[in-house]
Chain A
C-alpha cells in the first residue's frame, strides 16, 4: 500500500457548536462539535479541523474546553484554527490536546510566528491557511511578477491573491509565492481555500490546488467547493491534493464519509477504508 489521500471534515465552531458559513456570511447551526467529531471518526474521517469563527479572546476558554473534550474522546488527529496569533496561543491550543494549529491572518502580519512555532513545537503541527481568490487577466504580461495559470477555457489566465481577515481583506500578495514562502518558514502543511469556490458547492478550484501541489513540497489540503463526491475525486486526481476538506456535504448527511471514500477508492485513489 501507499500513503492514502485524506478526507477531512471541517467543523466551523462558535462557542463549542458547529456552524457552516456559506461564502463566509450566512451561518447555520449543525450540532455539538465533539459529538459530530465522533460520528466522523466512526465513518472513517482521517482527521478533523475545527475553525473557531468567533475567535474573540473572551470566548477562548470555550474553545480550549472544546479542544480538551475532543482530545479525551476522539483518537484521530485534529487541527484548530481561528484567531491564533502568538506562540503563546499556539502553546495553549496544543497543550489542551490539539495536534496542529492553523494560522492565517497572523502569518501575513508576522511571518516569524511560523518559524518560532516550528522551532518549538515542530513543523508537523504548523499549518498555514491561505485564502486565495482569482484575479483574471487577458495576457500573462499583465502580471509579470505573479505566478500565472492558464485556465481550461482557452486564452484566459489568472493568478491568485491572498485574502486575510476571514476573506474580507485583499493583500495584493501572490498566493503561490506566499505558499512557497511559508513552506520555507517552517509550515508543515497548507490549508488552501478557494474564495471563489467556497460555499458554492460546484467543485474545488482545481488549477489553484494543482499549482500549489506542483510548486510546493509539503502536503496541500484542498478546501472550498466540495458539493459532491466527484468534486473530491477531482481534487485528488486533477488537483493533486494530498487531502480534501469539506463541511456541508458531510454535516447535512448528503453523503457519508465512508461513502465518499469508497467512491474515491473505486477511482483508484488510495484510501483508508
Chain B
C-alpha cells in the first residue's frame, strides 16, 4: 500500500494549501470525505476555517463524525488545524453553545476585547513548548513563530494535553494539543514558513511508524 495522508474535505476553508505543502515535501495526499479513503490512510488531517457550529453541522450532514471516531479508535494519527483543532474539543461557545467531537475534554471560547487589542488575532505569534520531547516540535526552537488567524481559543481540562501555549494580550491559550493519537494546532503550520514545514515533516514521520 502506498503511504498517503487523507485531508478531510467538508467544504470549509483553504484545504489546498495543506495538500500543496505535503506535495512540496513529497507526500501523497487525498482531499476526501469518503469513508474508505479516510480509514485506509496512514494519517488524517482535519483542516477548517469558519464557524464551529456550521462546521459540526456539516460534518454531521455528511456523516463524518463516526468516521472520525473510528480513526481515533483505530489509532490512525489525527491532526486538527485551526478550526479543526477546536473541533477536537468538547464544546464551543461560538455563536451559541455547540457540541464538538469531544475527543479532548475542554472548551472553546472567544477572545475578550477587554483583554486583547484586536479580534481576530491575525499574524505571527510565538509558541512556548510545554513538553519539549513531543515528536511534533522536534528540530523546532522553543518560542518559534507560527501564523495564527482566530477569534476563539481552546482550554483543555487536562493540562497534560497542552504541548504548546501562546500569549495574546492578557490571555495565554493552548496552541498545540496532544492526546494519544490526536493532535491539533491553533495556528496554520502550512502558512508558517520553514518551521511549519518541519512540523508537517514530524507529523509524517510519526505516521510512518
Q: Do A and B come from one complex?
A: yes
A residues near B (Cβ < 8 Å) are 1-6, 41, 46, 71-73, 75-77, 94-99, 121-125, 188-189, 217-219, 242-243, 272
Interface size of B in residues (CB-CB distance below 8 Å) = 37
Contact A2 B167 (CB under 8 A): yes
**Minimum C-beta distance from A138 to chain B (A):** 34
B207 interface residue per 8 A CB criterion: no
Contact A75 B122 (CB under 8 A): no
Closest-by-CB residue of A relative to B196 is A75
* CB-contacts of B8-53 with A (<8 A): 13-14, 16-17, 20-21, 23-24, 49-51
B residues near A (Cβ < 8 Å) are 13-14, 16-17, 20-21, 23-24, 49-51, 113, 118-126, 143, 145, 147-150, 167-169, 188, 190-193, 196-197
Give the complex CA separation of A94 and B168 in angstroms: 28
A72 touching B124 in the complex, CB below 8 Å, given contacts A94-B14, A121-B49: no
Which residues from chain A contact B13 at a C-beta distance below 8 Å? 121-122
A1 touching B118 in the complex, CB below 8 Å, given contacts A71-B16, A75-B196, A125-B49: no
Which residues from chain B contact A5 at a C-beta distance below 8 Å? 123
**Minimum C-beta distance from A37 to chain B (A):** 12
Which residues from chain B contact A96 at a C-beta distance below 8 Å? 16
Give the complex CA separation of A102 and B122 in angstroms: 15
Q: Can you report 14 residue pairs joining A to B where beta carbons are below 8 Å apart?
A: A1-B143, A2-B125, A3-B123, A3-B124, A4-B123, A4-B145, A71-B20, A75-B21, A75-B192, A77-B149, A94-B14, A123-B120, A124-B150, A272-B124
**Minimum C-beta distance from B1 to chain A (A):** 26
